[in-house]
Chain A
Amino acid sequence: MIVSVGGQLLGAALAPVIESGFFSSEAVQVSVAIGAVVAIVSGAVGMFTVMRGQSFAGEALGDIGTTGGSAAYLGGIGPLWGIVAIDIVAAAVMELIGIQRPRGRDLATGIVLGAFLGLAALLLYLNTTFHHATGAVNTILFGSVFTVAHSQIPAIAALSVAALAIVALLYRPLLLSSMSAEIAAARGIPVRFIGAAYLLAMALAVALASMTIGTILSTALLIGPAATALRLTRRPGVAIAVAAMLGVGAMWLGVLLAYDSFYWPPKGNGWPVSFFVVTLIFLAYLLSGLPALLSVRARARSA
């Protein structure tokens, strides 16, 4: 409901650039709604990812989802539960072998990523051997927001609520332990438990994003808007709101541009949504660094 009102407002504002039929297309409606949900969840979870310096883990879980997707494909079940299960397993292994220690964190993430990608190679090979499905690779890797099925919507809602609930329930201790693990530990916060619970929330959010909008966009929405927001404001609550808004904005504008691009060269072949969304997010991040850069320049000149 809110989405359709927002869409109409957006439509009125952007009437000259919107190709006819944009809002009546069912694929567009689904992707606008799901894109918004995923962007909000990613923004809220992603702020902590950026604060905690776990971008690599966030990106790796997106890639590892490929392994789950191909396993599910091989087993003939829907990709959703394969991705969710494998991301939870991978997050647990990362936690066990030392993601909570800053020194070993990237290494632990890398080892887990390498092992799971190797497994993905095997599963994709078995898929092409047994199912003769050569196109499966690209579908699993790149995903497309225009191909989300209606039947997936309850699962998407459940995952979103679960990820947001973990972050909301742990909000204050999570915030403190993300800013300074030492201070949090001194205050008696179980830092390791909080870290593990957060990793679970991140695994759910990334699984949700990578199965609906693909692994590229899952990383882009998790890291980009949150990093941009944290450069614009120091207040965590405000940063989450800004990140969610930036993510939703990039997602909607990206879907719109992808829809419009069906009429761009080369004819009859739309440009991918992921390209537009990623570019918009990247530009927003670059622009958000501009004020700090200018003030440094100005100070250097006056000195």
Chain B
Amino acid sequence: MFSGFMVNAWTVASIVAVVAGLVGFFAVLRGSAFVAHAVPNGSFAGAAGASLIGINTLVGLGAFSLLGAFGIGFLGRRGRHDVVTALALVLMLGLGSLFLSFSGEYAPQVYSLLFGEVLGISSNQVAPTAALALICVVAIVLLYRPLMLSSVLGEVGEARGVSSFRMELCFLAVVALLATMTVPVVGTTLIFSLMIGAPAAARSFTDRPLIAIALSVAIALITVWSAIAASYETNYPVGFFVGAISALAYALGRGWAAWRQRRHTGARPAFGASTPTAALPS
């Protein structure tokens, strides 16, 4: 399980998990789950387009995910954010289906872009992944304070000279980089589950940001490691295990938060008691 070609899988998956746990924490904090889904998913069109004109697919992925991310950022200023994200995603997917129709050559690779072929990662994919991962991590470290401020208290940030719009663009650029780095190696499904499941679970266990980030990275690592081991044993796709384990982690986090709340208040809170309509039949 740890020999030969598997070394690449373990290395790349660990790198991806660290970055996904880190960037995903901010995605969850900012309520940007939709963007975290749309940018990696739409960027596949770039890969299909690049293979059509015969350039490196990484370049196509990068160009498309950056274009998509900035498109969402700029259009989101005037329109509803979720609407703009949905429209940008379908436009990218529409272009992708156009590129696929021009050249069927790329079609077999669609499955691996969506669901990943972690066990088939080659040695020459490790270096670009590590380089892009490093850029993502450095960007988040440099942006840490303003990004945290504008994610949690946007108005306070504005008052202190941190432009919410500029922070949004920076964050979207990091998501685009993450997509470029991860889509060719692990696929869009896996990266999305990791970016949402691990941080969401981590935030249920602690309110302190740095501990939550560390926990988020740890959960992401445990998720991919156990998913690869399970996939190696059963031959089932890694994406399935990552999706299932992420959902399980989230459920555990929610359970923990509910248990802690019950102990704090001393009484069992009625389900959905926070809304005035809870008493009505549903």
- Tell me what chain B mostly uses at the interface: helix, strand, loop, or mixed: helix
Check A190–B89 contact: CB distance below 8 A: no
Contact with B along A114-145 (1 / 0, CB 8 A): 11111111101100000000100110011000
Q: Report B117-159 CB contacts with A as 1/0, cut-off 8 Å.
A: 0000000000000000000000000000000000000000000
A37 to B131, CA, bound (A): 49
Q: A110-B37, A111-B200 known; A220 and B87 CB under 8 Å?
A: yes
- B 22-36 to A, binary, CB cutoff 8 A, 1 in contact else 0: 000000100111101
A248 within 8 A of B: no
Q: How many Å from the CB of B164 to the closest CB on chain A?
A: 18
Which residues of chain B are within 8 angstroms of A266 by Cβ–Cβ distance?
Answer: 102
The answer, yes or no, to whether B280 is at the interface (CB within 8 Å) is yes
State in angstroms the CA–CA spacing of A53 and B34 once bound together.
Answer: 12
**Contact in complex: B86, A114 (CB < 8 Å):** no
For A59, give the chain B residue with the smallest CB separation: B86
Query: Which of A59, A118, A119, A191 makes the CB contact (< 8 A) with B275?
Result: A191
A272-B79 in contact (CB<8A): no
B82 adjacent to chain A (CB < 8 Å) = yes
Contact of A117 among B31, B82, B189 (CB under 8 A): B189
Cβ of A75 within 8 Å of any chain B Cβ, yes or no, is no
Q: Do residues B246 and A193 form an inter-chain contact, with CB atoms below 8 A? A: no
> In chain B between 47 and 104, which residues have their CB closer than 8 angstroms to a CB of chain A?
78-80, 82-83, 85-87, 89-91, 93-95, 97-98, 100-102
Query: Which residues of B lie under 8 Å from residue A109 when comparing CB positions?
Result: 33-34
Question: In the bound complex, how far is the Cα of B114 from the Cα of A109, in angstroms?
Answer: 18
Verify A111–B197 contact, CB threshold 8 A: yes
Q: What separation, in Å, do the CA atoms of A56 and B205 have in the docked complex?
A: 26
Report how many residues on chain A are interfacial, defined by Cβ distance under 8 Å: 66
Confirm or deny: A185 has a beta carbon within 8 angstroms of a beta carbon on chain B.
Answer: yes
Stretch touching chain B among A83-91, A163-171, A277-285: A277-285
Q: Min CB distance, B121 to chain A, in Å?
A: 17
Interface stretch, picked from B174-182, B213-221, B236-244, B261-269, is B236-244
Query: In the complex, are the beta carbons of A192 and B196 less than 8 A apart?
Result: no
Q: Is B272 on the interface with A (CB-CB < 8 A)?
A: yes
A138-B110 in contact (CB<8A): yes
Give CA–CA (A283, B246) in the complex, Å: 37
Is B101 in contact with A125, judged by CB distance below 8 angstroms? no
Asked if A271 is at the interface of the complex by the 8 Å CB criterion, the answer is yes
Bound Cα distance from A293 to B107, whole angstroms: 40
For residue A212, CB closer than 8 A to chain B, the reply is no
Q: A114-B243, A293-B78 are in contact. Are A272 and B101 (CB under 8 A)?
A: yes
Other-chain contact of A227, B79, B100, B110 (Cβ < 8 Å)? B79
Question: Contact between B102 and A269 (Cβ–Cβ < 8 Å)?
Answer: yes
- Contact across chains for A124 and B193 when beta carbons are under 8 A apart: no
- Interface membership of A19, Cβ < 8 A: no
Bound together, the chains give a CA A272 to CA B32 distance in angstroms of: 30
Q: Kindly supply a per-residue 1/0 record for chain B positions 265-282, scoring 1 wherever the CB is within 8 Å of any chain A CB and 0 otherwise.
A: 000000010111110111
Question: Once the chains are docked, how many angstroms separate the CA of A116 from the CA of B37?
Answer: 13
Interfacial chain B residues near A112, Cβ < 8 Å: 247
**Shortest Cβ gap from A18 to chain B (Å):** 21
| Docked-complex contact B87 and A125, CB < 8 angstroms | no
- In whole angstroms, how far apart are the Cα atoms of A56 and B27 in the complex? 14
B34 to chain A, nearest CB (A): 4
Chain B residues whose C-beta falls within 8 Å of the C-beta of A58 in the assembled complex: 86
A50 adjacent to B244 (CB under 8 Å)? no
Residue of chain A at shortest CB distance from B196: A110
A269: nearest chain-B partner, CB-CB: B101
Determine the chain A residues whose CB is within 8 A of the CB of B250 once the complex forms: 111
Given contacts A122-B240, A190-B281, contact A107 B110 (CB under 8 A): no
Kindly state whether residue A113 has any CB partner on chain B within 8 Å.
yes
Quick one: given A114-B192, A192-B280, are A137 and B86 in contact (CB under 8 Å)?
no
**Structural contact, A193 and B80, CB atoms closer than 8 A:** no
Indicate if A69 sits at the interface (CB-CB under 8 A): no
**Closest Cβ neighbor of A123 among chain B residues:** B240
Given A53-B80, A192-B282, A223-B86, also A121-B200 (CB < 8 A): no
Would B34 and A118 count as touching, CB distance under 8 A? no
Is A97 part of the contact surface with B, judged by Cβ < 8 Å? yes
* A227 vs B78: C-alpha distance when bound (angstroms): 12
Chain B residue with Cβ nearest A60: B37
5 shortest A-B CB distances, which residue pairs?
A118-B243, A278-B94, A114-B193, A110-B33, A121-B239
B residues at A contact (CB < 8 Å): 28, 31-34, 36-38, 78-80, 82-83, 85-87, 89-91, 93-95, 97-98, 100-102, 107-108, 110-111, 114-115, 189, 192-193, 196-197, 200, 236-237, 239-244, 246-247, 250, 254, 272, 274-278, 280-282
Kindly list 15 other residue pairs between chains A and B, CB separation below 8 angstroms, not including A110-B192, A120-B115, A275-B95.
A101-B274, A106-B33, A107-B33, A110-B200, A114-B193, A114-B246, A115-B243, A122-B240, A124-B115, A125-B115, A134-B111, A193-B280, A219-B86, A275-B97, A275-B98
16 contacts between A and B (CB under 8 A): A56-B34, A59-B37, A112-B247, A117-B189, A118-B240, A118-B241, A121-B237, A125-B115, A134-B108, A134-B111, A190-B282, A191-B275, A217-B90, A219-B89, A224-B86, A275-B101
